[in-house]
Structure 1
Amino acid sequence: MIIMVNLLTINTAIGQHKKFTNDMLNHPGKYGKKFERLFNLNELQVYDTAYTKGKVVLNNGYAHSRILNPEDWPAYRKNIVVTQIDVVYTKYPRNKEFWRTNYYSLLAKRVKALFALDSTLNSADFEWNIKYQTSCKTEEETKKMFHGICIHYFEINDFESEEDVTNIPESKEEDMPDLSLKVENYIRSQGGIGDSMVYSTFANHPEWKNALVVMDWTGSMYRYGAQAILWHTMNYKNSGIKNFVFFNDGDGIDDDKKIIGETGGVYFAQARHMDRLIKTFYLVGKKGKGGDDPENDIEALIRGMNRFEDFDELILIADNNSCIRDFRLIANLGVKVNIIACGTKYGLNPQYVNLAYLTGGSIHSMKEEINHLSQKVSDNELKLKQLKYELNKEQLFIIKDPPQRVRYSQCEQYSTLTPLKIDPHLEFIEKHGGVGDSTVYVVLDRHPAWTNTSIIMDWTKDMYTQSAQAVLWHKMHPRTSGINHFIFSNDGNRLADKKKKVGKTGGIYFTKSNNQKMINRRCNYVAKRGNNEDHNSTNTIETSLRAIQKYYKTDEFILIVNNETCVRDFSLIPYLDTPIKVILSNIQGPINPQYINIAYKSGGSLHTMDDDYYNYVFTGVASSTNELKINGTTYEINKEGFFDYKDFQLKKQNNCKLSIKT
């Protein structure tokens, strides 16, 4: 028999949890199946004991328990991380009831022999397997096969020297079944999956793409965080997870030495390098298990954001029953945080409610999913399925009922908040001359109830500072902004006018609203790709149709346009069957009737610095003999059913097409 260990050797000084009790090892017959259930059971023809770096084979011999070559396992060293132990039997006879040697007794003796060699291996922090070799039909064949202990490990120094992963090959989809099994075995070693909260949440949100996942990797949270890795391996081809961050609250340092923002114990791994990712979570567990109850959640989020700046979704897998020690650092985030709260039997910890509320993020628990918390607040109260919360003097949520508040009262000492001082400037706007016409900001401020919105922006040179006001407004209102996506259009990049075809002009770019740094970079990137300088028409409807197609779950589409620019692809307006809210900027004369018609025909509305014109106004005029008057200019319905200037001179001067005829 062979026992193979691919395990993280845990330093007892940092709180090792033993896998096997002395009573179980001394009385294996008493525990029987319970003893066996501490292992993962697998069958294979022949167990591979060939030498490779990071593997030690310890022989017992057939039906014996003494380790014959103990010198091959080096003395415990802090720089070794063991990752798995496999106990390998020859399955002959096929029925264990007919084995000459008592199965449970032999297993216990061999495990005890291993612990006599190295007591640190008695740990629940790694994977334990029993492997049955089946390629034996006689006792003579069985005796020739290996029986013993094989330990797999890696050197921390070797692992850390691979910090530059550019030359490490990416994991392949065909490798995922074996890797998934490895993660499943690890979860079983931590007591089983328990509730599938984390796995189910990722399964329910396939739209989470380009995601950065930050995980509490302290003792009680191992099996929850590992579910995210398991989901990633099981859905590798379509997984939106790009990077992982693990935090263990300080690498085992003394609690009184943990400094806010500098606690440490934060580790990083790319989701495309699965072997390294799995080694990372073993390493993090070896380095520390958390110590006291509060954790350094916000520090881990900030460090993760700084390490992996290119992300669209920031997801925190958190221990709902632990406090956030560095809660005051929330002001440094500036990113929506989607929180998967684990252990919510008695309701959500107010600190995590506040983290989602203050960042405009979401909370996901076994009982419910909550998005846009600010919209659910009424009379300074928030009612969730399990508990009611109220805003205190600091405008932070606390549990309303005092007796229920006791459960999370220990977290109140950490729930002080450095005031959210948001820089009221946007570098892109300043670089391009500052805010002149503030229509966009004013209109968005006037309509805080617009939620689940996608902002479609004319991103040509004359509109930079106007359209960018939507980005600035979103930045200034992290709690209440309902903006989920930004769509930039520079009208075809640098495509020559004669090559711009209706519906095929391009120059359209998309980004989620979650990461302000990503939005800022997108602003500059799209501007560099093209600016439509000295041109007076844009592919407005093509851009709108592309946005509607991509973000079909959006409730509100908002189009920011230049009143002095024509809609080149106006002929596409019959395809615009989703309401568009048009924000008109740069109004220097009468309102361009093309934009009135986009609002009218789509079932949307029109918004200027001072006024809002809703669709019932347009439809009411169109269905009667009345005329539409806006800012002193009169409009009438033409033969094709579009609003046009009534004044002949304005019609004559208008170069913007109001027909769908070719």
Structure 2
Amino acid sequence: MVKLVELKAYFCSTFRLLKSNFSCNLHYSNKNMKSSLLFLLLISVGFTIKSQENFDFKLFEKAKKYGAYLEKNLPIYEVEKINPKDKKGLVYIPNNLRSSKYNYTDTWTDLKDTVKAYRVDVIFSKYPLRKGQYKMVHPLLSNRIKNILLFDPSLNEKEVEWRIILQTNCENDEQADSLFHGARIYFSKPKKEKIKNDATICCQDSVTKRKVIENQFSPAAILNNMNKINTIQPIPDSLKKVLSGKSLDEKEEIYSSYYEEKWRSIPDKNFEEKSNQEKKKTLEKITKFTNKFVPNSKIVSSVMNRHPEWDNALVVVDWTGSMYGHGGQILHWHTLNFKKSGITKFTLFNDGDRKIVKNIGETGGVYHQKANNVEKINALYNLVMSKGGGGDSPENDVEAILKAEMNTDTSQYDMIILLADNNSCVRDISLYDRIQKPVKVILCGYSPLIGIDPDYLIIAAKTGGGVYTIDEDIENLKLQVKGETITEKPIIPLKIKNNRCGFMKYRKAVSKYDDVVFTDIKETKRKKKLIKKINLSNDSIYKFPRELKRMKVLKDLDLSHNKLKSIKGINKNTLLFNLDISNNNILSISKDILELKYLRNLDFSYNKLMTFGAYIQELRSLRKLDISNNEISSMIAFKPMRNLEVLNISNNKIEKLPTEFYLMKKLKKINLSGNEISSINEIVYKMRKVELLDLSNNNLRDIPKNLSKLNKLKLLNLSGNPLPQKVIDDLRKKMPNTRIQFI
């Protein structure tokens, strides 16, 4: 009797889970119970025979209940940490700590038709622990599994094993965030069948291959594009032999190496310096190249022809699969209109070189080339294409723009022309306020029926640029607080499309806090991921605040006038733009600062630094550095900071400037006052962009003659040096346009 009741209870709970309408009543007689159980068993057997799937989609509607059932019935394994590196037979598909939505699903969908999946791991972090116990979030588990099946229903087949993986190496939010979360799919490649003149099998096989090639983001598609290029620019026979018998991935790597070497080997020769015959050959070559990727419209050439006033511009090209036609069009237009093009540099991006995990500001796949060498630009197009073709909707447009600006002197461009894909949103839209110059967005793939992706309106409006379609120029944009967009041309129908990334609420919140400066760390508790500016000066801080580590889009940070001895921990604020750490007690600069790849302005004045700091010299994006009023006496192993424009190193103990110091050719303002410098090197003339040079209160007894070659120098301060009056008089004669101070 007990066994029968237990058995019946088991079936009742099972069928409730399966949304059965069977009514369970434990007060039946033995006779009725036996017949009921027989009926249940028959249903159970019938269900088992009918079902060839792991999960019933109807049950996902009650995510909490189904999640609880799945936790009990799926095997659970604990590991310390998952290292999400794709190995042979493995694909990782990421999502976030508390999200059930997956990113970059194409890494699997591109591959699935040619392989066989046999296991899926759903990966979590075993966090948080409450009273030492972990409690699975059942709706999250249910929705994660459901979303995997949505992008590949074939994973629901019975032969596919499912597991739950819990990572244990996490004790706080920061550690949990750093772990991989998502799905891991195990697969094997089917054995090759020997085919003997079987037309049916042959054709089926070719259909599978065609599906792979048709996906423009897969390795097969990239190689297909390489083959197109090879019909114009044949590869050597030696390379063909190397490629023979290699897998798709191996071929992709070989092509990338080949095109990189080819790009680097092209001489730096201005297109204008070529003979007419050479120019004609180059144009023919580029015409053939661009004709291989013909776009559906001529939007790029139409917009460029409509705006001959655009000059001194950086062009940033989305060079991913769907944009090949448009990207080729700008190269062709530039070659045809070389003298009046107005383009100074090309930046191409492919959204991460087929990278799987793509972090904001760190996606990569961004490449640059000066616009005066057309052949080298063409070679760069081939190289970037060989390294990847995108593969997911969000793109790293803003990262590409910022890196283009980092790579260019601010005086060498007045605007940015962005060739954007209206069918893809912008992954790193939260960084738009770092852009320095107006962005002219040429909107490829726009249709009045579809509307404009709001990300590009944000970029255009916030930078003072515009959005350009094949027919219209949408300028003077203003964004209202509610996120609506208006222009000074109300006759233009501005339909705004739904953003595929689904981050509009987040983006409005980011926009809301753009100009808000937080001054109390307690105010930031629930806004950490939205805060862009924070001022914690004069706050008696002894240690770098851990709360700052969670502020992922922080732009401006002021920690001046505190009692800090170190900035260890700042490496988490990778997107910092301005950092003021002045008036503290810092003795040395830790390597954590190396992670601040976007840092442009750094104030380290009034600390206790003894050396210039090797790590500071590695900050390639830095434009302004104040390291005055420290105790620096040595500049040994100095490396020139080639993008630096303003340097204040006054009131230290420097006796001699290293030769490498004079190789910082972009410097415009230099303050070396209040040191112990006794001489200036003759090669000072190489710093041709210097407009202000303060050498006051040093030990100078002579000035090199080459100093007079600094034609842009507006102010030279030599006060407080033991210089003969004759030296000053000679300088004033040689430099009539320079104001020379000598008291």
Q: More strand by proportion, 1 or 2?
A: 1
TM-score by length of 2: 0.35
TM-score by length of 1: 0.39
Q: Which has the higher contact order (CA 8 A, sep 6+)?
A: 1
